[in-house]
Amino acid sequence: MSRSQTQSTVAMLAPATGLIAVFIFVPMLLTIWLSFQSWSTETGFETARFIGVQNFIDIFSGSSIGRDFKSALVNTLIYTVFSVLLILPLSVLLGLLVHQKLAPGGVVLRTVLFSTYMVPMIAVALVFSKLYSPTEGPINQVLGWIGIPPQSWLSSPQTALGSIVILNVWQQVGYFTVLAVAGLTQIPEVLHEAARIDGAGSLRRFRSITLPLLGNTLLFSAVIAIINSVQVFEPVALITQGGPINATNVLTYHIRRVGIERAQGGLGSAMAVTLMLSLVIIITALFAFARPRDERPA
Amino acid sequence: MSIAAALPDSRPLERARRHLTPLAAGLTLLIIVVAVVAAFPLAWMILTSLKTPQETMHVPPVWLPATPSLDAYAKVAGVISIGRSFLNSAIIALVTTAAILVTSLMAGYAFAKYRFRYREALFALLIATMFLPPIVTLIPLYRIVGYLGLTGSLAGVVVPNLANAFGIFLMRQFIRGVPDELIEAARVDGASELRVLFQIVAPSVLPAIAALTLFAFVYHWNSYLWPLTVLQGSADQYPIVISLSRLLSYNRGAMNTGLVMAGATLAVLPPVVLFVLLQRFFVDSVISSGVKG
């Protein structure tokens, strides 16, 4: 009896756990191990040679290796911060718009917003590269109608990264809106009723009831938005190739260029480990920061 | 559940409604504006795919094609082998999705209904992989797939993606809700565990199966980084998302705009149509992964 139970447990878990172990856990441990090795991606793991923390010294040095990596790290940080700062408030506002019952159209809006999340990033990148076109693109035309001078968007180092943030927000915000709606649905209607009877206006109710009770949803959204943001790759690989002048050189693009295209597997792995550590630190800090907020009385 | 039930006394609601009529009108307008802005890039994509090359290069831009034509679509077929690319995408998306369904149902069932040592720890360990960006494992994974002799083949694209933590998580959430009595009854009748899972449990979590099917299909239809890395150079194995990039390098400059838009429209169609048909399940599962998770 107990033996057959053990057998079925192992049988049920083996396919998924085995695959995830071989194709996620083993590569993750190898990435950490390789970050201390000198290793060419073109050769077997047995050619790796231990060099201590030399890869980490190189990627933070003043050499061109270090400069390129540090620019990718900073660009990814800027990109992530702006994406999250735009996506979270927008998702709450759009969530309120979908969730409200005063005006019709909430469900239609949700469908339109969420369908953009289904569009392949590569198609998003292609379409926006044409929308952003300084002369033939409609965005500068529309801006012209309201008196804003034409922008150079993807072709200028000052605006290229911001342009990619905008296309990312456009693609992703629908998903986070659905998360926000889910959070809003969980807030008991009686709380709003009680506050209304006490004479609280809608802004006051939003600040004192909606926002605090959305705390967990927003924390979850922030974590997912950060993880998604560091994965930005397609617009950079396809449209800007990291340029102009390194302005859109982001980590996923840079690590692949170093570790796969230039086959510098050790250096690339050290960069990947740095990314992984940064994520652990940022997300831990986020949770530590969110905890006391949870306990603050509503 | 409904708003009417939550507010038994209709009088304050009516008063509120009379007060808020201008607000309701404003909200409706806002909803329309937001929907138009959100839909604009895709609308522009489709409209531009129907324009003549002269219209796509016109300054200022022409919004509506004077005589919509499908010429750009015909030209796409001349630049990339569109049928082959679609077939490759379909193979990648369908094989991965089918395997993810099976592996997720099995593991989800074990985590939901079996008691075993280290169950919660193992589950937490698996869930942690949901938060690992794929770039972190890309370099050694590329070499591992090379060892397996799968570089440059569709098998190389598919094999590392046959199981994932999100699927296990989703299935566990839903299978927990299946009554134990149902499972016990089937066991008493002598059904094997696999039979219990696929004939009793799976039919009672169909919404989750629909949601996971769609999520997995869309994710793997759209995925770019891994196929690009593992297929490098084997153009006949490219899925549509990689073939599209060749449209951009064809005739650089504004000349290719119609072509690029036509190709993008084709690539977007399968995931978006699937989503519109089955969005109910998507939304339910996002809610369950977000709120309960």
**ipTM rounded to 2 decimals:** 0.92
A69 located within any domain: yes
Instruction: Give the total number of structural domains in chain B.
Output: 2
Asked whether residue A31 is domain-assigned, the answer is no
Cα distances (angstroms) measured from residue A204 to each of A37, A171, B7: 57, 31, 21
- How far is residue A96's CA from residue B84's CA, in Å, rounded to a whole number? 44
User: Which pLDDT value is given to residue A176?
Assistant: 95
A38, containing H or E segment: strand A37-38
B103, B221: one domain: yes
Distance CA A170, CA A164 (A): 10
Considering the domain boundaries, does residue A289 fall inside one? yes
**Mean pLDDT to the nearest integer, A45-54:** 96
pLDDT (tens digit, 0 to 9) for every residue of chain B, 293 residues total?
Answer: 333 333 334 444 444 455 558 888 889 999 999 999 999 999 999 999 999 888 888 888 888 898 888 888 988 888 888 899 999 999 999 999 999 999 999 999 999 999 999 999 999 999 999 999 999 999 999 999 999 999 999 999 999 999 999 999 999 999 999 999 999 999 999 889 999 999 999 999 998 999 899 999 999 999 999 999 999 888 899 999 999 888 887 766 557 888 889 999 999 999 988 888 887 776 666 666 654 43
Q: Are residues B137 and B281 in the same domain?
A: yes
Q: Which of B129, B130, B135 to mutate to test the interface with A (most CBs of A within 10 A)?
A: B135
CATH number of the domain to which A264 belongs: 1.10.3720.10
Whole-model pTM: value is 0.90
Residues B44 and B147 occupy one common structural domain? no
Domain presence at residue A44: no
A148: DSSP letter: P
Give the model's pLDDT for residue B1. 32
Q: With beta carbons under 8 A apart, name residues in chain B contacting A181.
A: 287
Instruction: Give the residue from chain B lying closest to A145, CA to CA.
Output: B60
Q: Which residues on B lie below 8 Å from A128 (Cβ)?
A: 41
Which of the listed residues B28, B45, B71 is the one where a domain comes to its end? B71
Question: DSSP 3-state assignment of B115?
Answer: coil
Whole-number Å distance between alpha carbons of A217 and A182: 8
Which one of B18, B41, B71 terminates a domain? Answer: B71
Cβ neighbourhood burial of B250 (10 Å; 0-12, 13-18, 19+): middle
Structural domain harbouring B62:
3-71
3-state helix, strand, coil in chain A (%, to 5): 75, 0, 20
Give pLDDT, residue B11. Answer: 43
A215 contacts: CB under 8 Å, gap ≥ 6: A290, A293, A294
Q: Which domain holds residue A289?
A: 64-295
C-alpha dihedral sign at B99, B103, B104, B109: positive
B275: chain A residues, CB-CB within 8 Å: 114-115, 118
Same domain, yes or no: B64 and B94: no
In this structure, are residues A103 and B28 in contact, taking their beta carbons and an 8 Å threshold? yes
User: Contact, A217 vs B291, CB < 8 A?
Assistant: yes
Task: For A132-163, give one letter per residue: b (16+ CB within 10 A) or e.
Answer: bbeebbbbbeeeeeeeeeebebbbeeebbbbb
For residue B84, the domain's CATH number is 1.10.3720.10
Burial A80-96 (b: 16+ CB within 10 A, else e): bebbbebbbebbbebbb
Q: What is the pLDDT at residue B293? A: 38
CA of A251 vs chain B CAs: smallest distance (Å): 9
| pLDDT number for residue A298 | 41
Domain-terminating residue out of B71, B98, B130? B71
Q: Give the phi and the psi of residue B115 in degrees, each rounded to 5.
A: -105, 125
Does residue B15 sit in the same domain as residue B102?
A: no
- Do residues B61 and B185 both lie within one domain? no
Q: How many domains does chain A have?
A: 1
Same domain, B80 and B57: no
